[in-house]
Structure 1
């Protein structure tokens, strides 16, 4: 596992935390954030949603930025946490909510929407007359979760709290970093993260596509393979634990 020299592409603060955990395992990593989180200005509609939070039988928070921003809004309007059941896709997002006094359910295995949809607590929460679900997320996220919940009879609304941009880098920054630091593996945490990786690679993509690529889900794996990535490893989650498990199962090159 210590033969890996990985490129991390998460937002800067998340990459720093992941890099520290990898270093404890003897794994070298280099950070080139490909997602820049920009909060969306709070509108009257967003305030109305938060003020009416007790109308929902379930609130689903799909990312750590959504958890942090969502909690900030909730604390502005609710002296006591509201009554809906809270859910998250993964343990790291759940921890942010729990640290703010919210009771959160999340899948023990599988750090993705598919695993959350199978969670008995979520099925129970929406097994009522006219169930309403709120999803806190970034702008323009994945639609699968809402589609499946609607199939189960729930009405679903979004509270979009931030946008994800591609930070500005000089031409050639990505292949230059990989060559200079002799990186032999790439890590992305979302479909948009992969799209930004592909975009930033530019003409160097055919070469970079030969490197092993660690992705968080079958959906992102499919995107990567369709774009020509030759060795795609589905970590079945975006957490550090999921990545470490995948690295153990796919030993890196011997240095």
Structure 2
């Protein structure tokens, strides 16, 4: 059986990387571990997006937050600066017509670790003190960015733009996972939450050996925090890549 690369991103975010890997001659298996859903009630989000000019900065926590927001925004006001965590989000903004040539976009300088901590290092906190910042995110998530901004004397409003959920472990999905656990594939994991989900799935489909089999897989992660989570959860073969699709692609090209 040909070794494959298992992509666990939500379906909507997996296509570009999958095509790139296939074009390079790799077999690819799609096995999404998270689903992205619209909000049950988007009214609070729409209400705040109608008042963007009240904010000194709008920060997006992920490409999903950007896509969910621009479902309700025809054109971003040029006077409102934006902040993002990494290159994937910058590309998503460009897809929606928000380019560095026309808009002020702040993102981490360290492309290997793109998260709240590295974004905070480049934000001009003194200029934001006493002003309002909007954080657009999922219904759940880390509080570090908001807490740090509040600690610097900045008024912060966090608003959900979408919700995440684990897929239902259907019989067909369970059968696919059993096949993957028995194969010698490499896995791309792009969130700590996905690691938790797949461990639960592995235990469900093979209570005796599923978790152990999964922990022996070669997994590729584009973020230090995911690498740390994987170590804590007992994964034995974890490769920390550079951030974004470029980092993942380069590391997978070099895999033995």
- 2:236 counterpart of 1:230: yes
Mapped contact 2:129–2:154 kept (Cα < 8 A): no
Which residue of structure 2 aligns with residue 240 of structure 1? Answer: 245
Mapped contact 2:181–2:213 kept (Cα < 8 A): no
The number of residue pairs the alignment matches comes to 240
SS of match in other structure, 2:127 = coil
Which residue of structure 2 aligns with residue 133 of structure 1? Answer: 133
Which residue of structure 2 aligns with residue 71 of structure 1? Answer: 70
CA RMSD of aligned residues (A): 2.4
Cα distance in 1, alignment partners of residues 115 and 21 from structure 2: 22
- For residues 212-246 of structure 1, give each alpha carbon's deviation from its aligned partner in whole angstroms, at most 9, with x where no partner exists: 22223222222221111112222243x21121233
- For residues 11-70 of structure 1, give each alpha carbon's deviation from its aligned partner in whole angstroms, at most 9, with x where no partner exists: 113222211111223332211111111110344432332122112111111222211121
Cα distance in 2, alignment partners of residues 128 and 87 from structure 1: 13
Quote how far apart the aligned CAs of 1:99 are: 3.8
Task: Call closer, same or farther: CA 1:165–1:130 in 2, change over 3 Å.
Answer: same
State which of 66, 84, 91 in structure 2 corresponds to 1:88.
Answer: 84
Cα distance in 2, alignment partners of residues 243 and 222 from structure 1: 17
Structure 2 residue ranges without an equivalent (≥5): none
Quote how far apart the aligned CAs of 1:113 are: 2.7
Structure 1 residue ranges without an equivalent (≥5): none
The 5 Å alignment of 1:160-175 reads: 160-168=160-168, 169-170=170-171, 171-175=174-178
Cα distance in 2, alignment partners of residues 93 and 21 from structure 1: 18
TM-score by length of 1: 0.83
Which residue of structure 1 aligns with residue 223 of structure 2? Answer: 217
Which residue of structure 1 aligns with residue 145 of structure 2? Answer: 145
Which residue of structure 1 aligns with residue 213 of structure 2? Answer: 207
